Amino acid sequence: MRWFIGIFIAVAVAFIAACEEESAVWGGDSYYGKGNGYDWTANAAGIPEKKPSLDACSVEEVNLWILDTMWDMYLWYDHLATDIDFRGFAEPGDFLNTLKYPDADHFSYISKKEDHDNYYSGKYYGFGFSFRKLPDYVVYVTMVYPGSPADEGGMRRGQRIVAIDGKTVQEIEDQNLWGSVTSRPEDEKEIPIEYVVEENGEQKTLTLYADDVTTPSILKTATLDAGEKKVGYLMLKSFINSTNGELDAAFTKFKADGVTELVVDLRYNGGGLLNGSEHLASLITGGELKDKLFTRLTYNDKHQDYNSDYNFKDHSQSLGLQKVVFIATGGTASASEVVINGLKSYIEVAIIGDTTYGKPVGMNPMEHCDYTLVPITFKLANSEGYGDYYDGLPADCAAADDVTHDFGDPLEESLAAALAYLNDKSCPAAPVMQSWRPGELDIRTVPYRMGWVF
Output the DSSP codes for 340-400: HHHHHTTSEEEEEES------EEE--EEETTEEEE-EEEEEE-TTS----TT-PPPSEE--
What is the pLDDT at residue 439?
42
Q: What is the pLDDT averaged over residues 104-132?
A: 90
What is the pLDDT at residue 87?
84
Confidence (pTM):
0.86
Task: Identify whether the C-beta of residue 452 lies closer than 8 Å to the C-beta of residue 131.
Answer: yes
Question: pLDDT averaged over the chain?
Answer: 85
Residue 346 has pLDDT above 70, yes or no: yes
What is the pLDDT at residue 444?
28
Residue 441 has pLDDT above 80, yes or no: no
Residue of 163, 125, 162, 175 lying closest to 145 (CA atoms): 125
**Which of 43-47, 234-238, 245-249 shows the lowest per-residue confidence on average (mean pLDDT)?**
43-47
Task: Read off the DSSP letter of residue 292.
Answer: S
Q: What is the pLDDT averaged over residues 409-418?
A: 96
Go through the domains of the chain in sequence order and give each one's CATH number.
Answer: 26-119 (no CATH), 124-214 (2.30.42.10), 218-440 (3.90.226.10)
What is the pLDDT at residue 327?
98
**Residue 17 pLDDT grade (very low, low, confident, very high; cuts 50, 70, 90):** very low
User: Phi, psi at residue 97, to the nearest 5°?
Assistant: -65, -30
Q: What is the pLDDT averaged over residues 250-277?
A: 96
Convert the pLDDT of each residue in 49-107 to its tens digit: 666 678 889 999 999 889 888 988 999 988 987 777 788 899 999 999 999 999 999 89
Between 98 and 20, the higher pLDDT residue:
98
**Which of 107-121, 337-351, 372-386, 388-402 shows the lowest per-residue confidence on average (mean pLDDT)?**
107-121
Between 132 and 250, the higher pLDDT residue:
250
Residue 400 has pLDDT above 50, yes or no: yes
**Residue 432 pLDDT grade (very low, low, confident, very high; cuts 50, 70, 90):** low
Beta bridge partners of 311: 293
Residue 228 has pLDDT above 50, yes or no: yes
Q: How far is CA 104 from CA 128, 197, 329, in A?
A: 32, 40, 20
Residue 445 has pLDDT above 60, yes or no: no
